[in-house]
Amino acid sequence: MDLIANLSTGFSVALAPINLVFVTAGVIIGTLIGALPGIGPVAGLSILIPLAFGMDPTGAMILMCGVYYGCMYGGTITSVLLNVPGESSSLMTCLDGYQMAQQGRAGPALTIAAIGSFIAGTFSVVMLTLLAPPLAEAALSFGPPEYFALMLLGLSAITGLTGRSRAKGYAMGFIGLAMATIGLDPLGGVPRFSFGHLELLDGIGFLPIAVGMFGLGTVLAMVDAPADIKIMKTTLREMVITRQDMKESAMPIVRGTIIGFAVGVLPGAGATISTFLAYAAEKRLSKTPEKFGTGTIAGVAAPESANNASTGGAMIPLLTLGIPGSGTTAVLLGVLTLFSLQPGPLLFTKNPEFVWGLIASMYIGNVMLLVLNIAFVPAFVSVLKIPYRILAPLIAIFCLVGVYSVNNSLLDLWLMFTFGLIGYLANKLAYPLAPLVLALVLGGYMEVSLRQSLKMAQGDLSVFFTRPIAAVIMVIAIAIILWPLFAKLFSRSPQAGKLPVSAEEI
Amino acid sequence: MEKAEAAAGILILIIGAVLLIAAYPLPYMVESVPGPGFLPLWVSLGIIASGAAVTVSAVRGRLRPGEPIPWPDLPGWRQVGVMLVALALALVLFDDLGFVITTTAFMTIVIFSLGVRSWVTLITAPIAAAAILYAVFALWLGVPLPQGILTFMG
């Protein structure tokens, strides 16, 4: 496949005026969502799903992806200026970023973060451009056993997303699988878990559940405690960075990018973890580790690059293989499914304008974000002044009208409402939502692949291990699933094998 | 003993049990290939097992050592309640009252109960909300929004 030809197709799609509007809107919305504490990318994307539903698929994904990587830029703003992370992947930036702001160096912090984010984001899109086609081509030879193994690999990500209580994470995963099972059995027409209700025969919609759990759930969490953001007066006169700043940030940006990209590609580890690892690596490699936490620019450059690099990385398995590795990419996968666009090798052959248009617009989006985050920070800061008292009900009614607009279905609205409550309670009780979404989105395909594989092999389970690619993927997936057990057996610490995650892991 | 956690665990156990009962009659294997009952059975067993694990941990007080659940305070609960009730009403009345009335009423009631007292805000915010929603859904996406009792306005 000719790379140049693909990219030119892509750019001709991405540069179409309507798609330029979408990418602009997406990155602006993403920056705002990233900056606003209390709403993360998963919530933001979920709230937008009904919009996407009414749009052309290419434009919709350009918008949604713009929101996705835009969030990584936006989170820096409140981290640096207010010591409040806009979302979990900007947590590490608070450590040194806020200190720099206290020293009157908020401007350089934000600028370096923007530059690092741009370099990292663009690098990861370049890697996506280079790695996706060969990977998609290799995946063309995949059959049901390989797909089952891949879905299992995707689901194995759940073990990384469980947070402190593994039992809770698994419970959510299984519940997600159960929800995926509701409706008519795809291979037999037998109703399952419908309890006699006709409306459930088509399964329960991903859209009202996602909007409810993440959108409404977030709204409820917003109103349960007064949380107006106190914007302190900060001067942003100097967004200018010194040569010293650039020298000190260069390698951290490089290292952060590589770490972020690698972590992003892996299922189960998302932007948040990449920032922890990048920060820790910088501190370890630094000649002055004691300065970390007091306002070193490396402490800002590294995590900010990492979280952006992870977005492009996460898009690779999503687009080429259909495996989402985190809650956010699971929502993106859900959206693709709503459009009947099955990600994977067929996406590249059947819908090249869509895929390459999306990839091309990611380059454009990153450029826009670089400009926005250096030149327009005061504008974003002023949006943060909108009190939650107005924002929360606005989002709530937006969700309601959004879900209504899709199907005019009262059932959908009640589903959204119920899952809003469930999402709120789940957050309070520390039940991670990402495993549920992942299982809901992947469960159906996984079951179909399993049954088709065994039908092909006439019940012989070894089919998963005699085909080389399936075997390799199965081994990796099983290793990931069993890893926590090994870690626990060989270590005394009760937290062994558990990665630090927030309730909303991205 | 972490009560709320234990209650949640038991709830999950019960859900698992109900699903197991629903899954039981389905054919498990059909000609040595998993049938429609395969996944439902294992999933319900998984739910039961994890529900049991959570309940046991909660009873032993191991789930959140020393860390209380971040329940909101009483005013917080009231806010959540207002939001839920208002949303439920809006949901039910959306078609009948129409989009304009439901949106503006919802916004006004909720922002008032959340503490906004400025007349200017109480008037402009609902109007702005209705305008934004109209622009996005009716104008841009072309979604027909119910006019409800305002249908005489055409």
**Interchain contact, B141 vs A55, CB within 8 Å:** yes
User: How many CB contacts within 8 angstroms connect chain A with chain B?
Assistant: 170
* Tokens found for residue B59: 């009873």
Closest to A414 measured CA to CA, from B95, B102, B93, B91: B91
Q: Tokens 């008032």 map to which residue?
A: B112
Share the mean pLDDT of chain B. 87
ipTM of the complex: 0.91
Query: In this complex, which of A51, A223, A402 lies closest to B83 when CB atoms are compared?
Result: A223
- pLDDT at residue A234 in the model: 55
CA nearest A227 in B: which residue? B76
Contact assignment for A223 to B80 by CB distance below 8 Å: yes
Share of chain B above pLDDT 70, in %: 95
CA A127 → CA A65, A131, A133, A256, A329, distances in Å?
16, 6, 11, 15, 18
**pLDDT score at A178:** 94
Q: How far is CA B51 from CA A432, B12, B43, in A?
A: 14, 5, 12
Write the CA distances from A422 to A166, A209, A418, A460, B120, integer angstroms. 19, 10, 6, 40, 35
Distances (CA, A) of A501 to A263, A360, B61: 14, 31, 22
Tell me how far apart the alpha carbons of residues A3 and A161 are, in angstroms, rounded to a whole number. Answer: 35
**Strand A191-192 and strand B29-30: pairing?**
unpaired
Euclidean distance between CA atoms B62 and B74, whole angstroms: 27
pLDDT of residue A505: 44
For residue B10, the tally of other CB atoms under 10 A from its CB is: 16
Q: Residue B113's closest chain A neighbor by CA?
A: A389
> B111: which chain A residues are within 8 Å (Cβ-Cβ)?
389-390, 393
At A357 the pLDDT is: 92
* Maximum distance among all Cα pairs of chain A, rounded to whole angstroms: 71
Pick from B30, B77, B80, B123 the residue to mutate for testing the A interface (most A CBs within 10 Å): B80
CB atoms near residue A342 (< 10 Å): 15
Helix ranges, A2-40 (H): 3-14, 17-35
CB-side neighbour CA atoms (13 Å) of A291 = 13
As a whole number, mean pLDDT of residues B78-100 equals 91
Q: Mapping DSSP to helix (H, G, I), strand (E, B) and coil, where does residue B29 land? A: strand
Instruction: In whole angstroms, give the CA distance from residue A311 to residue A393.
Output: 30
Q: CB A394 to CB B40 under 8 A?
A: no
**Which chain A residue has the Cα nearest residue B37?**
A192
Residue A130's pLDDT is what?
Answer: 92
Query: Where exactly are the structural domains of chain A?
Result: 3-489
Among the partner residues B16, B111, B141, nearest to A393 by beta-carbon distance: B111
Q: What gap in Å lies between CA A372 and CA A366, rounded to an integer?
A: 10
Q: From the CA of B154, how many Å to the nearest CA of chain A?
A: 20
CA distance B120 to chain A (A): 13
pLDDT reported for residue B151 = 63
Query: Are A174 and A439 within 8 A, CB to CB?
Result: yes
For residue A229, give every residue at least 6 positions away whose Cβ sits within 8 Å of its Cβ, in sequence order, or none: A37, A78, A82, A84, A384, A385
CA angle B91/A174/B32 to nearest 5° reads 125
Query: pTM of the prediction?
Result: 0.85
Q: What percent of chain B has pLDDT over 90?
A: 45
Which residues have a Cβ under 8 Å from the Cβ of A132 and sit 6 or more positions away? A316, A319, A320, A348, A355, A359
Tell me which of A192, A222, A224 to substitute to probe the interface with B (most B C-beta atoms closer than 10 Å).
A224
Residue B114 to residues A427, A475, B75, B93, B135: CA-CA distances in angstroms?
Answer: 22, 53, 10, 22, 26
pLDDT-flagged residues of chain A (< 50): 496-497, 501-506
Cα A373 from Cα A58, distance rounded (Å): 25
**pLDDT value of residue B152:** 56
* pLDDT value, residue A159: 76
